[in-house]
Amino acid sequence: MSLLDKRFETPYNTAPFSKIKTEDFLPAFVRAIKNAKIEIGLIVDSKDTPSFKNTIEALDYAGEQLDRISSIFFNLNAAETNESIQEIAQEVSPLLTEFSNDVALNATLFERVKLVYNSRETLSLSKEQSTLLDKKYKGFSRNGANLNKEQKETLRAIDKEQSKLKLSFGENILAETNRYELVITNLSDLDGLPEGAIEAAKQTAEEKDKKGWLITLDYPSYVPFMTHAKNRVLRKELALAFGKKGFQNDGLDNQEIVLKIAKLRFKRAQLLGYETHAHFVLEERMAKTPTNVRNFLEDLLEKALPAAKKEFKELEAFAQEKDGIGSLEKWDSAYYSEKLKQERFNFDDEQLKPYFKLENVIEGAFKVAHKLFGLSFMKTQDIDTYHKEVMTYKVVDLKQNIVSVFYADFFPRQGKRNGAWMTSFKPQYIKNGIQERPHVSIVCNFTKPTSTKPSLLSFNEVTTLFHEFGHALHGMLANTTYPSLSGTNVCWDFVELPSQIMENWCYEKEALALFATHYETGDNIPMELIDKIKAASTFQQGMQTLRQLSFGLLDMSWHGTDPSTITNVKQYEKAAFKQTQLFPDVEQNCMSTAFSHIFQGGYSSGYYSYKWAEVLDADAFEYFKENNLFDPKIANDFKEYILSKGGTEDPLELYIKFRGQKPKAGALLRRSGLIN
């Protein structure tokens, strides 16, 4: 027995990270799986007539401790991993997949679920209960319950192999990111870099016992160098290293893994009676079909492509005029775009950074949440964390009721994967009349403080923080009965609405006035800079939109067709990118082999959802702007219909309840400057 086997005797039942030993996890998983099987067995063996309560509801609450252990372990594997954790992950993932399949393919259990489902018209179910029943039934039918014995075994084998391949994919990318180092010993090679970036590079070198300055593939190191470094040769070297992650024909190569995952997903979809993996996935999304997704992407492409081509020609001409660059390459994009933006709007991101001290931006997000949703965030030292940099907060409402526990983890580390994400250590739900509140976390990789400066965020990092905080609000404000419908357990093309809408407040004077103050003088950000932020917000939106569309189309290309005959990942990717290509192709680079969103995360057949949700968020934010940025009624409706309902109702119906109408793309096109 270990701490992981029971409810934690800690403040708010939070995870006692410092007391959990890595070696505790594997035996705890084995015991939790055994206990979950017993819980499932009680449902299966019940002599009572199947009912919503003794079958559907019981099933949703089953395996509570297993879910808790899983959330703690796999969050550590993403944010604070090591070889031991990765080895356990490789061992545990097949066990979890096998257990999941044991449940999904249990014929007796499915019969009980089916009996309840078939009698649903005679039951007096609430909207949430009806949704849960529908999801449970589909959870079985979409995971092989209607297959014969031989087909079920095939499905099990596919799922087990996929779980290990996805882990290997992510481990390879993390290892690639960690092993690359650009050591600079000549100060002139850092020409153009802001003082803060140079100081951070020096600090990184010192931390790794290197002389000079160290540039890595972590975003806070990589992005400033690609944006500001004058040395084109080094920009190229860094860009090539970034672009060939998982594509070097060595022990960390992901090409074979990509092909295997794509083919296994297709095989699984066919086994279940679907045309492709995308058809399987999209059946449970707002978009419904691959045709709808492709039409959506192609429609936006038609509007964005002319603007993108015009912007690209402007950038080419600018680089030619400035430095005689004959052919604009990918490693020139960020550098000359930043220079052009500086010239056109007479400002750069470095002017903004002093006004975006991390601690102030965090407080700003909290203040916006307070004005909109009545939340207060109280920093606490009583909650255990998995790393000393992680900050913890108790979140309360206007009546001082506990709403959530909130964790925030902001800086890059050796054992932490790149990017930014929101996750949870414990979901919200109601069981036996007791309201269980969620434990929510955001994890980012922001610019670290140095010996002379605090963490000063780029504007992109500011919007990233607000984005992930929007996801966190979705988790915090959940108010449903069942864990599987709570918080961010919604359609994947709806989940980005709460996150993306929060980014909008970063561009507004009323919101910036709450937190954008100079870290040394305390002066508010000048109105002139706010005007420039807004003016620059449509800069190169054609190219930015095209880039996002290209990722969505690549995703659909991998998952919306039969991949059985694909043998060359790079060639296939080149063909998928052809209609959105602006820059010359780089033969040494491949995106698919590091496209973690679709090959490791949950975005397969779903990358389009970023743009889909942009339509929703632009339309929703326009509603605020037509009235008031902090309009209490609109904010309350957003909280009531979008943030608190989770997956209990159809997302389009929820959106219409909030907005009073279906979403329209016009607001996004206007915001992007693609139409007037």
Return the H-helix or E-strand segment holding 532: helix 527-536
Residue 474, both tokens:
């979705």
Residue type, 230: K
Strands 439-443, 402-409: pairing is parallel
What's the CA gap between 667 and 196, in Å, rounded? 37
Are the CB atoms for 173 and 596 separated by under 8 Å? yes
What's the CA gap between 27 and 650, in Å, rounded? 40
What's the CA gap between 226 and 182, in Å, rounded? 13
For the question of residue 468 being annotated catalytic, the response is: yes
Residue 161, both tokens:
């192999």
Q: What are phi and psi of 434, to 5 degrees?
A: -100, 125
Residue 444, both tokens:
């980012």
Nearest to 78 by CA among 468, 486, 389, 419: 419
Q: What is the DSSP letter of 484?
A: G
Number of Cβ atoms within 10 Å of the Cβ of 589:
19
Cα 57 to the center of its chain, rounded Å: 29
Residue type, 125: L
Q: What is the DSSP letter of 322?
A: H
Residue 119, both tokens:
């009698």
What's the CA gap between 495 and 404, in Å, rounded? 19
Burial (Cβ within 10 Å: 0-12, 13-18, ≥19) of residue 572: buried
What's the CA gap between 69 and 33, in Å, rounded? 10
What's the CA gap between 136 and 357, in Å, rounded? 46
Sign of CA dihedral 639, 644, 647, 653: negative
Nearest to 471 by CA among 632, 657, 667, 617: 617
Tell me which residue has tokens 């140095």.
450
What's the CA gap between 477 and 159, in Å, rounded? 33
- E strand residue ranges, 332-447: 376-379, 391-396, 402-409, 421-426, 429-431, 434-436, 439-443
- DSSP string of 220-247, one letter each residue: HHHHHHHHH---HHHHHHHHHHHHTTT-
Sign of CA dihedral 53, 57, 58, 61: negative
The contacts of residue 318 (CB under 8 Å, 6+ apart) are 336, 339, 340, 343
Three-state DSSP state, 443 = strand
Three-state DSSP state, 429 = strand
Residue 221, both tokens:
């190191």
The contacts of residue 113 (CB under 8 Å, 6+ apart) are 50, 55, 56, 59, 136, 137, 140
Number of Cβ atoms within 10 Å of the Cβ of 388:
5
Pinpoint the alpha helices (H) of 184-289.
Answer: 195-207, 219-228, 232-243, 255-271, 277-282
Question: Which of 468, 496, 573, 622 does the annotation list as catalytic?
Answer: 468
Q: What is the DSSP letter of 272?
A: T
Residue type, 426: K
Are the CB atoms for 663 and 619 separated by under 8 Å? yes
Sign of CA dihedral 625, 626, 632, 634: negative
Active site residues: 468
